[in-house]
Amino acid sequence: MEVTSGVVLFQVSTALFALTLGPFQFLRRTRDRVHRYLGRAWLGAASLTCLSNVAIVPAGFDWTQGLTLSALFCFTAGWIHARRRRWIAHAWWMIGAYVGTGASWLASLLSPGRVAQEVLANHFFVALILAIAAAAFAVGLFMILRRSVEHAASQADD
């Protein structure tokens, strides 16, 4: 299958949206209508990011598809826990999905021999946006981990 730069640019745009929306979704108030709608938007963008990764494979299945499948599994498990109102399990599965999406996205862009590298070499502006998205992902991951550690510490103090 011929991979076009359009597929790569589609993945970049959905990943940028998902990776920058993720920290806001995880750190704001939960269990309200805004959280549900933002969560659905995030889940859609993150799922499209992972599914577009499948289209950016030079020949056959590779290890980045394993990351993609694990992120999709986390999406499903997190959604099921939300539907069953198991909020703590839902939160942890969705954090895992966020990390999996970021790892899958970075791996698909940085792995040797991937089509994405050729596209990025010819599109400086896209590469710049990717650098910003990677920084947003790192900051979001730090903020999520920091909040998790603070929450665990407050639970231990009680």
Tell me the per-residue pLDDT of 69-89, one tens digit each, with 9 for 90 and over. Answer: 888 899 999 999 999 999 888
Report the share of the chain in percent with pLDDT over 70: 81
Write out pLDDT tens, residues 106-121.
776 777 766 666 766 7
**Which stretches within 28-62 are classed as H helix?**
33-55
What length does the chain have? 158
Question: What domain range is 127 assigned to?
Answer: 5-157
Q: Are the beta carbons of 73 and 47 closer than 8 angstroms?
A: no
Task: Copy the structure tokens of residue 30.
Answer: 């939960």
> In the chain, pLDDT over 90 holds for what percent of residues?
7
Among candidate residues 55, 46, 38, the one with its CA nearest the CA of residue 16: 46
pTM (two decimals): 0.69
Question: If residue 12 lies in a helix (H) or strand (E), which one and from where to where?
Answer: helix 5-27
Rounded Cα–Cα distance for residues 42 and 64 (Å) = 21
Q: Domain total for the chain?
A: 1
